[in-house]
Structure 1
Amino acid sequence: MNRRKLQDRLKLKSVETIHGEQFNNLLRYVFQVTNRDLQTFGWENREIAQSKLPVLKYADVLGWFDGDKLISQLAVYPFQVNIFGHIYEMGGLTGVGTYPEYANLGLMNKLMLHALSNMRDRKQSISYLYPYSIPYYRRKGWEIISDKISFEVQDTQLPKLKMVPGNVDRVTIEHLDIKTIYEEFALQNHGAMLRNELAWEEYLRWDLDDMTVAIYYDSNEKPMGYLLYWIAEEVFHIKEMMYLDEEARTGLWNFVSAHFSMITLVKGDIYKDEPLAFILDDGDIKETIAPYYMARIVDVALFIEQYPFQIQEADCQLVFSLHDPMLEWNQGTFTLMVDKAGKGYLKEGGGKPSVIINIQTLTTMFMGYKRPTYLAKIGRMQGDDTSVHLLEKLIRNEHPYFSDYF
């Protein structure tokens, strides 16, 4: 069929719960989820559509339809993240896919533009996603903002027991103290997700039924850390280790080390710029680092209004030229003004720009993943020394933490 005629008959509209089966079929095809995969994770009797029902109920799900057939889709979750102590509304992009016979029609680009416009209307000034292709999402304005460090510790390398005043209890995944600990942790850590019920469901969606939880309580019986884990074939798998202080971290590693006679290896992931090797007595462990999540600023003016800049000795301003490959409202020359208290705002226009930058680089810089001096050095932005130095002073020096998956 003539591709022009094909494009003319396609319609963009919301994906509703009545489209659940088609939503499921498209996800399974695009992400190549087989019946064997479902059996491996204990989902043989539960379809992805059923497990993803919250997406269709609570998320902004958009799709292209060829008649009544859903042929391309994406979803945006309503989430919140902590950015340097300020809570931002965040649009979590997921479920992106198009059947191959409808590829190269520009369908996904139009879906993304529509979704980003909706995010702006909902005051979601930033969007996160897990990339199946980093180059593809970079072209759409997203950039890497977090890493994942995967580690393997042999049983002989486990930390020696260190006495702590508290104790560890094993509990079920439904225990309320887990969410209490995580909420306090998320409020303390830049970049972290504030998990609502939808976020928790996504985080635990594909986990095995034999997932176990250990909670560390201090001497006052206050929950200070938890460990999500399972043991299989003599391997201790850590899904998440969350702690609010060093005592809790020590107590949880004591608990892991207590399994010495049962295991030969401990495997897990760290989502901060904090390699495990340095804090172990035997640091000769295997660690691999990989980029994890990406983000993009959706509405640069709103993002700046909310952003907590460093306190300064005097008011300051910076004129910069911004390029965005998709969003016209993020395009052009802007003047950034920041007062002594660290409150910033943006206005359109200004004199000659002293910095030239794109939305991808601006995002990773303001998120603290890469510093202004480094970005200028590698040519990801152009700016004079005075302007780059000012950005160094304005942006807090803290790496983002993000351990969720959706």
Structure 2
Amino acid sequence: MSGNINIRRMGREDWNESLDLSSFAFQYPLTPEEREERLAQMVPEEQWGAYVEDKLAARMTVLNLETWIQGKVYAMGGIAGVATWPEYRRGGLVSKLLCNALSVMREQGQTVSFLHPFQFAFYRRYGWETYAEYKQYEIAVGQLPRFEPQGGRVVRGEPDIALLDSLYETYAQCYNGMLKRTESWWKNRILERKKGTTAVYYGADGEAAGYVHYQVKDRVCTVHELVHLKREARLALWRFLADHDSMIDKLVIRVPNDDRLPFLLDDPRIKQETIPYFMARIVDVKSFIEKYPFVSGAEAAFLLEIQDEHADWNNGVFTVTVDESGTARVAAEPLQVSDLPSVSCSIQTLTALLTGYQRPSFLQDIGRLQGTLQGLGMLERLVPARTTYLADFF
């Protein structure tokens, strides 16, 4: 692309044009009220633009978020709203924005990044890889579960964000890749954008143990979120939803990929679909691994070779030493020959592996992970098994 190209944070004077670009690219009109609301929610440090001859040509948001991985909170850069005006497309502007975002996220201590792709193959070129999928059920009213009554009670009412978040956080830690939500995220992204009703399950002991957030419209019950901390909460909330049978023809819900509801149904032949959802990328290999809780119990050391053409700080060979507690230390490996066990892969493969989306043995089988027999065996033992899931969108 000819002309002077500059990547920089957008000034407030460009925010309206940025909204125009997003509205045009993603084909959603904004009312004046919605525009004012979006402007009020924009964070200056998160807004990035690609300028050609000082004109805004492309834009991107790098959200300052946090995510749960193996029970730990990681600072995460959420890539969102990537858009380019048609006359500037295929000129490499998104590539420049993404490469700039990697450097910015590293500087900000965001060791991992998530995004929702318009095309998976495109973002794989820059190091992102699929990390989360979900199952979607469509259940006809006659197939809804009829579980036995539980000892507690389900209470509908105005959403108590503090209560909902306490339940959500306990649930979220059981999966890799769930967001750690803030109060503003609950208000603006969950309750404001997903209209409906909230109901909380309280056990016989009076303690809250789950909730459901749902909407009934046009004879369809859309379950935005169902969180349960105990088996009884899950059964009670499903019974509660089934009691809407006179109002609906079907229920639609998204659930983690390890959900086994169909096995519990009298008629398990419901409509279900597995949908690839979000992509992830490790931004800083050293920092990410040094925080990562590997399986404890035995010491281990191996060489890790990473190919990452868009983040040179990741591209190379590292010595990874894991102590008995599962804590790792990472050091750059000098070029001399080492007799340590070794593994080698791309940054995409490492991301799929350490987020828990794919096991080392599978990645080896498909040719995405190479190494010595001992090194591959170490990874299989060291990486904890945990399902990935993301209940949010950005």
1:21 aligned partner, one-letter code? N
Unmatched runs of 5 consecutive residues or more in structure 1: 39-43
Does the CA contact (< 8 Å) of 1:22 and 1:69 recur in 2?
Answer: no
Would the aligned equivalents of 1:161 and 1:257 in 2 still touch at CA under 8 Å?
A: no
Q: Does 1:331 align with 2:331?
A: no
- What is aligned with 1:126? 112
Q: Does residue 295 in structure 1 map to residue 280 in structure 2? A: yes
Q: How far, CA to CA, are the matches of 2:114 and 2:121 in structure 1?
A: 15
Q: Distance in 2 between matches of 1:277 and 1:167?
A: 24
Match for residue 19 of structure 2?
24
Distance 2:386 2:317 in 1: 28
> 2:386 maps to which residue?
398
Cα deviation per residue 1:301-360 (whole Å; 9 max; x = unaligned)? 0001100000133x2111122101310000011111111111101111153573220000
Distance across 1 between alignment mates of 2:39 and 2:192: 9
- Determine what percentage of the aligned residue pairs are the same residue: 34
- Could you list the per-position Cα deviations for residues 89-120 of structure 1 after superposition, in whole angstroms to 9, with x for gaps in the alignment? 11111111111211222221121121111111
Q: Answer whether contact 1:24 1:49 (CA < 8 A) is retained.
A: no
1:348 matched to which residue of 2?
332
AA of the residue aligned to 2:256: Y
Unaligned runs of 5+ in 2: none
What SS class does the counterpart of residue 293 from structure 1 fall into? strand
Q: Which residue of 1 aligns with 2:194?
A: 207
Tell me the amino acid that sits aligned with residue 142 of structure 1: W
Where does 1:130-279 land on structure 2 (aligned, <5 Å)?
Answer: 130-173=116-159, 175-200=161-186, 201-204=188-191, 206-208=193-195, 211-279=196-264
What SS is found at the alignment partner of 1:308? coil
Distance in 2 separating the partners of 1:229 and 1:16: 38
For residue 65 of structure 1, give the secondary structure of its aligned residue in structure 2. Answer: strand
One-letter amino acid of the counterpart of residue 383, structure 1: G
Q: Distance in 1 between matches of 2:309 and 2:327?
A: 28
In the TM superposition, structure 1's runs of 4+ consecutive aligned residues that sit over 4 Å from their partners are: none
Q: Give yes or no for contact 1:322–1:357 (8 Å, CA) kept in 2.
A: yes
Change (3 A) 1:392 1:52: farther
Give me the whole-angstrom Cα distance separating, in 2, the residues matched to 1:198 and 1:19. Answer: 24
- Measured in 1, the distance between the counterparts of 2:80 and 2:54 equals 22
Contact 2:360 2:380 in 1 (8 A): yes
**Which residue does 1:41 correspond to in 2?**
none
- Give distance in 1, aligned partners of 2:184 and 2:124: 27
Residue deviations 1:344-389 (CA, integer Å, cap 9, x gap): 0111115357322000000010111100000000111212322211
Q: CA offset at residue 48 of structure 1?
A: 4.6
Counterpart residue type for residue 288 of structure 2: F
Moved more, 165-174 or 388-397: 165-174
- 1:12 counterpart letter in structure 2: I
| Residue 64 of structure 1: aligned partner | 50
TM (normalized to structure 2)? 0.93
Corresponding residue to 1:282 among 267, 272, 277: 267
Partners of 2:322 and 2:162 in 1: how far apart?
41
- Kindly provide the amino acid, as one letter, of the partner of residue 345 in structure 1: R
Name the count of aligned residue pairs: 389
1:55 is displaced (CA, Å) by: 3.0
Q: CA RMSD in A?
A: 1.9
Q: Which moved more, 1:196-205 or 1:79-88?
A: 196-205
Distance 2:27 2:200 in 1: 36
Report the 3-state secondary structure (helix = DSSP H, G, I; strand = E; otherwise coil) of the residue aligned with 2:43: helix
* Structure 1 residue 67, shift from structure 2 partner: 5.0
Query: In 2, distance between residues paired with 1:237 and 1:360?
Result: 34
TM-score, structure 1 as length reference: 0.91
Q: Superposition pairs for residues 370-381 of structure 1, below 5 Å?
A: 370-381=358-369
